[in-house]
Structure 1
Amino acid sequence: MIPDDDPSRELTVANPAAPGTTYVSLVGNTYAMLVTGEQTAGRYCLIDMRVPDGGGPPPHRHDFEEMFTVLEGSVEFTFRGEKHTVSAGSTVNIPANAPHHFRNTSGAPARMLCMCTPAGQDEYFLRVGDLVAGPDAAPPQLSEEELKERRHRAAELAPEYRSVFL
């Protein structure tokens, strides 16, 4: 049997251009929080990622599934040490616990949708990144001390969000 409908949960319509969308700058990328764990009762989150040429996170792994759909450009994914170049229109699923990272090596900006199941990555990004005004806002100009503090905070909070940097 499936449970009864939960009328306290509402329909979510996600549009990165909608007023009120939260944008976070993190490691030079800009992430729009489209659907949060709060909206899905923790089941998943959906993030619109804008990744400049050369952008991407350091190698890491986590105990949740992560799926990327490349919308614009191409992105190089390194999965368990093996590189895969993925172009617009393709989807990549990263199994839980597998070491991976991605890098935009295309010479042009790239854009992806990232779904994490269960949610939590949305909260992590909000806690370690910097809020920006929109998708085209320049990342904040951080001093060396501020960059060091952001890296420290990211590493310190990673275990709370079931992640580890490699």
Structure 2
Amino acid sequence: MSEIATTNAPLPADDLSRALAFAQLDSPTAQHIGLVGNTYTITVAGKDTNGRFCVIDMHVPPGGGPGPHRHDFEETFILLEGEVEMTFRGAKSIVRAGDTVNVPSNASHQFHNVSTSPARMICICAPAGNERFFVELGVPVATRTTAPPKLDAMQMAEFAKKAKAVAAKYGTELLDRA
């Protein structure tokens, strides 16, 4: 395991061009994105962190969750409510409220809400960029818990085609379901 290098160099000056990023989930300016049954609220975007990370509040209804995928950034999930089944490199684990999971970059994974209650997670991606992927693929919805429109078979096929077409642009690879 590598250690982070430390120096005795002085800290750089405060960058006064950067502002405090403050998100309120019920604010009219909150960005809620519906994506294949889930609702993702972007609370801190890469533009707020000079691209270092982004934070996404995830509402995952029963049966929700993405298919298997991997990407070139770290992803940490903090489960606030409910429970989900996390599949990491093919191994399944149950993650419950209060648990934190870090998915290393490039590792195959997915999560799925197998319970009868919605799950709520905070997702931190480093570096940022995943929030732009969600904005490009999803549709704006009214609130943090508003479900996205249901897709019929033709719309789902169109969505899958678009997702595969833009995934590489965001350092993501969509994997086939096992």
TM range (shorter): over 0.9
Unaligned runs of 5+ in 1: none
Larger radius of gyration: 2
Q: 2-side partners of 1:120 and 1:99: how far apart? A: 18
Residues 1-166 of structure 1: matches in 2 within 5 Å? 1=9, 2-166=11-175
Count of residues paired in the alignment: 166
Contact in 2 for aligned 1:129/1:150 (Cα 8 Å): no
User: Could you tell me the TM-score, scaled by structure 1's length?
Assistant: 0.96
Q: CA deviation at 1:147?
A: 1.9
Q: Secondary structure at the residue paired with 2:114?
A: coil
The RMSD of aligned alpha carbons is 1.1
Q: 2-side partners of 1:5 and 1:86: how far apart? A: 38
The runs of 4+ residues in structure 1 deviating greater than 4 Å are none
User: Could you tell me the TM-score, scaled by structure 2's length?
Assistant: 0.89
Q: CA deviation at 1:27?
A: 1.2
Q: 1-side partners of 2:26 and 2:172: how far apart? A: 30
Percent of pairs identical after alignment? 50
Unaligned runs of 5+ in 2: 1-8
Q: CA deviation at 1:141?
A: 3.2
